[in-house]
Amino acid sequence: MLVNGLKLSLEGTGMVTLENVNRVYRMGDHKIHALKNVSLSLETGKLVVVLGPSGSGKTTLLNVLGAIDKCDGRITAGDLEITKLKKHQLTKYRREKCGFIFQFFNLLPVYNALENVEYAIELSSRMSRKKVTDQATEYLRRVGLYDKRYHFPSQLSGGEQQRVAAARAMAKNPELLLCDEPTGELSVKEGKQVLEIIQNMVKERKDVLTLLVTHNQKIAQIGDIVIRLRSGEVDSIEEQTPISAEQLSW
């Protein structure tokens, strides 16, 4: 896909890189260094868990990767330098190349489950109406909510709402799947269901880079790579053999 001559794709290198990324927030006369000289090289086909306490910069890292927030430094996805994109290009990048799963679901309350997923697909593609519905239905089936596709968010449990959010993110066929504390508002049982869905997508889509932010050390066990942040800096990077989400307990 081209956006004003720019190719938004991870094809070729299959890498996302951050070079000396900094994010400073100003509160009056004070400066808060949310990210400090963060440099990373991340490979598609992996589940990367970003682990750290509150205030460590986890969500900020996700936000700069998803172009929700701006930063200093350099971020590249494939051959594209995200940090050089203009405002309208960043909008297309977020819409068409990034899937987001937020802690608080962020579903549209006036749309049912099917319509929430359809809306995301319509924004990110030029499919026919029938194909949009077929794809949305298929992803709701994958997350086990086909029978509740006409339910509104208020009629669903927290875990079910998060599974709709996961279907919405994945139905866009993103190249970056960014998950910000996706189990934070869920019971252990519901959280494990959502994590299992995320793990399955990683196995199915080797062309996708998935980042999952959490403060829960137990959840970090499902990652191929664990990046620990502390006070906005990378404290450690560890590769590991992940366990399945169904084996988790916290």
Sheet of 176-180: strand order equals 98-101, 176-180, 209-214, 47-51, 225-230, 233-239
Is 12's pLDDT higher than 50?
no
| Residue 191 belongs to domain spanning | 2-247
The whole-number pLDDT of residue 107 equals 97
Percent over 70 (pLDDT), the chain: 95
How is residue 144 written in tokens? Answer: 């086990």
pLDDT digits (tens, 9 = 90+) for 167-194: 999 999 999 999 999 999 999 999 999 9
Domain of 62, CATH number, reads: 3.40.50.300
The whole-number pLDDT of residue 200 equals 93
The whole-number pLDDT of residue 13 equals 54
Q: How confident is the prediction for the chain on average, in pLDDT? A: 92
CA neighbours closer than 13 Å in the CB half-sphere of residue 163: 26
Band of pLDDT at residue 9, cut at 50, 70 and 90? low
The whole-number pLDDT of residue 80 equals 86
Q: Are 89 and 63 in contact (CB under 8 A)?
A: no
Based on C-alpha coordinates, what's the Rg of the chain?
A: 18
Phi and psi (nearest 5°) for 72? -100, 150
Average pLDDT on 210-223 reads: 96
Task: Please state the domain count of the chain.
Answer: 1
pLDDT digits (tens, 9 = 90+) for 104-116: 999 999 999 999 9
Average pLDDT on 197-215 reads: 93
Average pLDDT on 222-233 reads: 96
Is 55's pLDDT higher than 50?
yes
Is 127's pLDDT higher than 90?
no
Q: What is the pTM of this model?
A: 0.89
Average pLDDT on 141-157 reads: 97
Is 6's pLDDT higher than 50?
no
